[in-house]
Amino acid sequence: MARLRISEVLKAQKIGEKVTLKGWVRAFRSNRFIQLNDGSCLQNIQAVVDFEQFDEALLKQITTGAAIGISGQIVASQGKGQSIEVEVAAIEIIGEAAPDEVQKTVMQPKKHSLEFLREQAHLRFRTNTFGAVFRIRHGIAFAIHQYFNDKGFYYLHSPIITGSDAEGAGEMFHVTNFDLAALPKNEDGSVDFSQDFFGKPVNLTVSGQLEAELGALALGQVYTFGPTFRAENSNTSRHLAEFWMIEPEVAFNDLQDNMDLTEDFLKYICRYIIDNYAEDLAFLHDRDQQEQKAKPEQERNEFGLIDKLAFVINNPFERITYTKAIEILQNSKPYKKKKFKYPVAWGTDLQSEHERYLVEKEFKKPVIITDYPASFKAFYMRQNDDGKTVAAMDVLFPGIGEIVGGSQREERLDVLKKKCQDFHIDEKEIWWYLDTRRFGTVPHAGFGLGFERMVMFITGMGNIRDVIPFPRTPQNAEF
């Protein structure tokens, strides 16, 4: 008999059907009721065993975590909690779970903390919470490809190994095949990179944007979706050293078009998950409610998880300039009462406390902040006519902060060359990028969505480490 997935069987509800199912035991009660899960959905299927029909030795092997196969008939369930169950005719033990003393406590079917689970690589995936998170993570990735494909974008694979530092923040991981204990040196004592694999220093990409721009200026509209790496030493609940980014880039778009695209795109993803992942989302919604209850009242979210997504879909994002944001902050209560830790003044970057105030207190919805001072934004952003600001945009989400960063790009060669000088970027290093401004340059714009931050927002998980299968953070690259 061909194996069916538990999700299919629960959906079909075919009383009388003979099925074979394979999965992992979540619980085995009273030598009679097996809760079986195969990862296809949140719900377990209940398999009912008549213990008199089976060897005691076999039944002993049915422990939490063991992999088994069962065959039997679908019947209407007598008990509460499920409408159908499997009347077991045959059992196959596929992989025993025989925990040692240490693992025994780990394997208890009880609620473990998220921190604890991060250290139990095998168990983490088997929990309801992480099952739901990773199914939804897949759903978001799929929705992203669907969205761009429907809109006529082409998926462009930007390189992972690159010589450029697109963001200019110098937070790169170097890539080399040198023997680090015996580096070849130049006469002046510096490392001789001409002998390295690529003949020059290279690093893991921090962003695929510069390459995407080349694609957009030929294919019209492209997007990247790949891993990006940043060696920023920020041990926060929002930062990873390895994260995934989606970077659309569109020829002939200006900043307004860019904001419209971002907003439509983010709303589409939320809608897709509500429509296609109702069961997992409902589970995470309840989980979030419980988490909220455990918090002090003033820190609780105003909305439940599903209401929060619906709110994002149904309301226009607030759009304000950086200059306006500073004005609002300087007129705010926390500013006047000196509650902000960091200064608020035109020309200084917004800190997360300021962003949170704008999103969570002032507007209570997603906010797009535009036209930041040129000094703390990247070299490629288009200079505004005021000579002080650039056509940048950051999208801020409640509970997350910055989820998207983007801009209209500087398409004028002379202005861009001047920017390179100001930012100490050697023109010889990015000649290939400057060439796009020499041969049929056009206005264009794009943005980068931090994939894990979007997964956090949709799943309600509070720590970015808990929305990526194998998190990489400072001092941590286990598994």
Binding site residues, Mg ion, CB under 5 A: 405
CA dist., res. 70 & res. 461, Å (int): 34
Residue 429 interaction partner, one of ligand 4AD, Mg ion, none, beta carbon < 5-8 Å per kind: none
Residue 471 interaction partner, one of Mg ion, ligand 4AD, none, beta carbon < 5-8 Å per kind: none
Q: What distance, in Å, lies between the first and last C-alpha atoms of the chain?
A: 36
Nearest approach, Cβ of residue 213 and ligand 4AD (Å): 9
Sign of the Cα pseudo-torsion (234, 237, 242, 248, in order): negative
Nearer to Mg ion by C-beta: 398 or 405? 405
Nearer to Mg ion by C-beta: 238 or 285? 238
Nearest approach, Cβ of residue 355 and Mg ion (Å): 11
Nearest approach, Cβ of residue 17 and ligand 4AD (Å): 46
Nearest approach, Cβ of residue 477 and ligand 4AD (Å): 15
Is the CB of residue 25 less than 8 Å from the CB of residue 62? yes
Residues near 370 by beta carbon (within 8 Å), at least 6 away in sequence: 255, 259, 319, 320, 321, 322, 391, 392, 393
Nearest approach, Cβ of residue 344 and ligand 4AD (Å): 21
Residue 453 interaction partner, one of Mg ion, ligand 4AD, none, beta carbon < 5-8 Å per kind: ligand 4AD
* Residues of the shown chain interacting with ligand 4AD in the complex, contacts defined by CB under 6 A: 166-167, 207, 209, 230, 232, 239-240, 243, 245, 247, 402-407, 446-448, 450, 452-453
Nearer to Mg ion by C-beta: 405 or 443? 405
Nearer to ligand 4AD by C-beta: 46 or 408? 408
CA-wise closest residue to 49 among 66, 35, 64, 65: 35
DSSP 400-458: TEEEEEEEEB---HHHHHHHHHHTT--TTTTHHHHGGGTSS---EEEEEEEHHHHHHHH
Nearer to Mg ion by C-beta: 201 or 347? 347
Residue in the block written with tokens 């931090």: 450
Neighbouring CB atoms inside 10 A of 195's CB total 12
CA dist., res. 97 & res. 107, Å (int): 9
Nearest approach, Cβ of residue 206 and Mg ion (Å): 11
Residue 251 interaction partner, one of ligand 4AD, Mg ion, none, beta carbon < 5-8 Å per kind: none
Nearer to ligand 4AD by C-beta: 66 or 212? 212
